Amino acid sequence: MSIIQIDSNKRLDDIEHHFKVSAGPGAGKTHWLVEHIRNVLHHSNRLGKVRKIACITYTNIAVETILNRLGTSATQVDVSTIHSFLYRHILKPYAFLIADEYGLDYSKLDGHDELNHSHSKISNWLKSTSQQSLLKGKANILKALDTIQWQMTDSGELFLGLPINKTYLGKVTNISIKKNSYIEYRKEHWKLGNIHHDDVLFFSYQLIEKYPFILEVVRAKFPYFFIDEFQDCNPIQLSIIEKIAETETIVGCIGDPAQSIYKFQGAELGLFLSFSLNGMSHYQILKNNRSTIKIIKVLNFIRSDLTQEPVREVDGENPCLIVGSTKNSIQEVRKLCVDEDFYTLSRDNITAKALQNELDNTFNIDNLFESLSEIDSDRDRKQAVCSSIKAIELVREKKFKDAFKELEKIFPRSHYNISISIEYISTLIGEYDSYKNENLINFIEIIQKLFHSRLTKVSRGKVKEFYENTLYNQLSVCINIPDDMSLNKTIHKSKGDEFNNVLLVLKSEQELDFILSPQLADPKAEEHRILYVAISRAKNRLFISVPSLKVKNEPKFSEQFEIVRC
C-alpha cells in the first residue's frame, strides 16, 4: 500500500473508501478527523435521521474534545469510547440472546465498571471450582483478579486469563489458580447484572459471532465508522471493526504506532501497521503544529520512521536536562518558567499524586492500600478507611460520580438514604485540614465519630503500628484519579493533550536510554514509547528531571539539551 502525504487541512475528495492515516505527535490528527467528519456530513447521501457517523476514541476526555470541536454538527455523529459504543448498540439491546448461556442477569444491566470484589464472591468461586485452599492467599488472588483480561487466540477464540507478562500472579501460596476458572469468578458478578469494562468486548464479540444480523443493524445505523488513536486497539476490538467493515460501512482509522502505550489493556503495536481493508488508502501527515523547532529536533532524533516538519516558526529554548532531586528540579523549573504554569508528567499514579502533594520523600512507597488490606483483618473498618479516603480525594478532584460509588460501599443504598452519604462526605471535606498531614489513627477517630462508634477501635499489634506510622497523605497518593485535571499527571493521562511547559520526572539515569538508544518500533520497548509520548506533549519548554547523570555521559546529551545540575 503506497503512502500519500497530506497535511491536517487536507480534505478527501472521495469519502467512500476505507482509509488509514498515520501521523506523529502534534500533527493535528484530531483536527483532521473532525474536518473529515464535517466533509462527510456535507457530501454524503447515505446519512439521515437514524443513519449517523460513528466516531470512536479511547478516553472520555477525547470524546469531549471531539464533541466540542464538532459543535452543532455533533447531532449526526455518535462520539464515544469503543466500550460505550458496543455496550449501547450491541450488548444492551441484545444481551438477552446469550444471557442464559453465560448466567448473565441482563435485566439488571446498568453500564460497565470496575468490579467490586467481596469475600463471599471469592469464597463461592473458589468453592465451586474446588480451590478452597487458595483462600488463605486472598491478597494475591485480588491482584490476579484485577489483572485478568479477555484475550484472543490465533483461531479467534476468546479466553479470560492473565497477560503473558503477568502469569506469575496466578500462583498463590505455591498453588496455581486454575486457568479455566477465571470466567467462573466473573459469573459471580454476571448473575447480579454487573459486568467489567472488558466484558463488554467479550459479550459483543460473542453476540455478533452467534447472531450476524446484529452486524447488519449496526451497518445500517452507521454507514461510516471512524476510529481515533487506532494504535491503542487490541485484537478483539480489531476483529469487531473488521467484521463491521466487511460490507456497506466505510471504516477509517488514524493513529501513530510510536504512541502505542496501552499494552496493559491488550493493545498490540503491530495491529496498526498491519491493518488493511480492501480498497484502503494510506495517508501520512508529517507536520508538527505543536512544538518549537528545538523540541521537534529532539523528537526527530529519537524517531527513525518519520521526520516531522515544524509548522511554528519558533526556534524556542533548548530542552533542559535537570540533574538533581525532584524537589530541586521543580524549584528550578518554577524559576525558569517565572509566572507560567508547568505540568509534571510521571510514570505512575503514586509519583504523580506525590508531586501534587509535594511529598518528594514518598516516591518509593508501594501501594499502601494493598498493605492495609493485608494487615487489617477487620473488614468493616478497612472498608470504611479505604472508601472514605478514596471518596474524599475524588470529591476534591470533582469526580463526584466516582466518589459516590465509593461511598456506596460503606452506605449501600439498599440500607441508607443518599443524604447520609452527602452529609458524611461534606463533613470530611470540611475537616480536611485537620487530618491531611496526620496519621491514620487520627483519621479513624474522626470517622468513628461520624459512624457513631460502629467501627472497631484500633488497639494493638501490627495493625496499630501501621495506622500510627502511615500518614493520611501517604495513603491518598496511592489513589488513581480518572481523567485527572491537575497539573501533575501520569504520562498515560496526558495522552492526547498538550501543555506549554512540561517537566518529565524520571527515577534513574538508565531511563534516559529512550533518547540515546531509542527502540520505538520494538513491541517489547513500550517504556521508550511512553517516555516519547511524554516529551511530545510540550509546546514551548521541555524539562527532564533525573536524579543523577555521570559526568562522562554529559557530551551524549549536550547537543540536544542544556544540562543543569542542582
Cα 36 from Cα 184, distance rounded (Å): 44
Cα separation, 48 vs 95, in Å, equals: 27
Q: Which residues pair with 21 in a beta bridge?
A: 254, 283
Say yes or no to pLDDT of 3 above 90: yes
Does residue 497 contact residue 536 with C-beta atoms inside 8 Å? no
Residue 141 has pLDDT above 80, yes or no: yes
Instruction: State whether residue 282 is helix, strand or coil.
Output: strand
Q: How confident is the model at residue 358 (pLDDT cuts 50, 70, 90)?
A: low
Range of lowest pLDDT (91-105, 186-200, 443-457, 527-541):
443-457
pLDDT at 483: 65
Query: Considering only 43-47, 59-63, 133-137, 361-365, which range has the smallest mean pLDDT?
Result: 361-365
Answer whether residue 1 shows pLDDT above 80: no
Q: Return the pLDDT at 484.
A: 62
Cα(73)–Cα(33) distance, rounded to whole angstroms? 13
pLDDT, average across residues 107-129: 91
Q: In the 8-state DSSP scheme, what is residue 439?
A: B
Q: How confident is the model at residue 165 (pLDDT cuts 50, 70, 90)?
A: confident
Strand partners, 255: 22
Non-local (6+) Cβ contacts of 387 within 8 A are 406, 407, 409, 410
Q: Is the pLDDT of residue 442 over 60?
A: yes
* The predicted structure's pLDDT at residue 284: 96
The Cβ of residue 228 has, within 10 Å, a number of other Cβ atoms equal to 26
**Mean pLDDT, rounded, for 282-289:** 97
- Mean pLDDT throughout 37-54? 95
Domain 293-359+487-565, architecture per CATH: 3-Layer(aba) Sandwich (3.40)
Name every residue whose Cβ is closer than 8 Å to that of residue 214 and which is 6 or more positions away in sequence. Answer: 90, 94, 207, 208
Is residue 488 very low, low, confident or very high in pLDDT (cuts 50, 70, 90)?
Answer: confident
d(CA 133, CA 130): 8
**The pLDDT of residue 38 is above 90:** yes
Centroid of chain to Cα 482: 8
**DSSP structure string for 82-120:** HHHHHIIIIIHHHGGGTHHHHT--GGG----------HH
Rg (CA), the chain: 25
Query: And the C-alpha cell for 17?
Result: 473508501
Contact 204, 90 (CB under 8 A): yes
Return the pLDDT at 486. Answer: 76
Per-residue model confidence (pLDDT) at position 180: 94
CA distance 459 to 465: 10
* Tens-digit pLDDT profile for residues 527-554: 999 999 999 999 999 999 999 999 999 9
The domains spanning 4-92+211-285 and 293-359+487-565 adopt the same CATH topology: yes
Confidence at residue 361, expressed as pLDDT on a 0 to 100 scale: 43
- Taking the C-alpha atoms of residue 450 and residue 428, their distance in angstroms, rounded to an integer, is 9
CA gap 540, 171 in Å, rounded: 48
Alpha carbons within 13 A on the beta-carbon side of 127: 7
Buried b vs exposed e over 482-516: b needs ≥16 C-beta within 10 Å? eebeeebbbbbbbbbebbebbbbbbbeeebbebbe
Find the distance separating the first CA and the last CA of the chain, reported in whole Å: 51
* Whole-angstrom distance, CA of residue 555 vs CA of residue 566: 18
- Can you give the pLDDT at residue 357? 66
The mean pLDDT of 222-230, rounded to a whole number, is 97
Per-residue pLDDT tens digits for 63-98: 988 999 999 889 999 999 999 999 999 999 999 999
pLDDT of residue 363: 43
pLDDT band at 364 (very low <50, low <70, confident <90, very high): very low
The full set of domain ranges for the chain reads 4-92+211-285, 102-201, 293-359+487-565, 367-477
* Lowest-pLDDT choice from 45-54, 174-183, 386-395, 473-482: 473-482
Strands 158-161 and 149-152: antiparallel
HSE-up (13 A, CA, CB side) for residue 468 = 9
Name the average pLDDT for the chain.
Answer: 92
Instruction: List, for residues 316-351, the tens digit of each pLDDT value.
Output: 999 999 999 998 999 999 999 988 999 999 998 778
Q: Which fold has domain 4-92+211-285?
A: Rossmann fold (3.40.50)
Residue 116, pLDDT > 90, answer no
User: For 280-364, where are the alpha helices, taking DSSP H only?
Assistant: 293-302, 326-337, 349-356
pLDDT for residue 362: 42
DSSP H/E element including 283: strand 281-285
Cell numbers found for residue 300: 526527530
Each residue's pLDDT tens digit, 396-437 = 988 898 899 889 989 988 888 999 999 999 999 999 999 999
